[in-house]
Amino acid sequence: MRAALLALSFAGAVLATERAFIAPFSTMAPGELKAPWREVALSNIRPARFDIVAEEGATVLRARVEAAAGSAAHAVDSPPNAFLTWRWKVDRTVEAADMTRKAGDDFAARVYVFFDLPLDALSFTDRLRIRLARAIYGRDVPTAAICYVWDNRHAAGTMMPNPYTDRVRMVVLESGASRVGTWVVERRDLESDYRLAFAPPPDEQVPRVSGIAASTDTDQTGETVTAWFGDFRIESRP
């Protein structure tokens, strides 16, 4: 369950401190990633390499993996009726990936958004799983997440549970090689995406956003990928 554990590790790091904004990479000096961003990896998986670099006239986050995985995580405290915007670029897709299988759960780039869903809103089984995760990774492991991915084969708009845990919903934003090597801008309505992903009752309030993580991983497939991420922004929805 390496991918699921890694996702939970991201979550625990994100929630370590509360932030009402997302620190921009564009204001950082080239070099190592600095707080309030935090690099996260598991001890039994080769870590990703994160650097702040100059890329095409801007300062951005670069993530490199070779049979490795990791995340750059940031705490957020935001109502869900907001847009998350960012831009990203990859040098290739993960050829052997397959998001329907545990053994294929690798992506050139991922962006996690974590939601603070109350435990009492979960099933008995899910409550037990979350309590176990919190016993291992800390009490602030969140209860729900959307993972936006740059996939290799599934059409943009595809949405499905993660093969390791249905508390994470996968959403394909980019797919295939047509835009590889090109900066792509994304803008997501977080409340709408949550309702599509988890299908809560129409009158049920969507939980607050508690954190994000930028990630790349090839620990399952052993491939080599470089991804770049521009600034992330939370924008209030009218």
User: Is residue 140 helix, strand or coil?
Assistant: coil
Query: What average pLDDT does range 79-98 have in this prediction?
Result: 96
CATH number of 2-236: 2.60.120.260
Q: What is the mean pLDDT of the chain?
A: 85
**In the numeric block, which tokens belong to residue 164?**
């390791």
Question: In this model, does residue 17 exceed pLDDT 50?
Answer: no
155 touches 22 (CB < 8 A): no
Q: HSE on the CB side for 203, CA within 13 Å?
A: 0
122-173, pLDDT tens digit by residue? 554 555 555 555 444 445 556 689 999 999 999 999 999 988 877 789 999 9
Helix/strand/coil percent split, the chain, to 5: 20, 40, 40
Rounded Cα distance between 55 and 196, Å, is 35
Q: What is the pTM of this model?
A: 0.87
198-209, pLDDT tens digit by residue? 998 899 889 989
User: Is residue 48 helix, strand or coil?
Assistant: coil
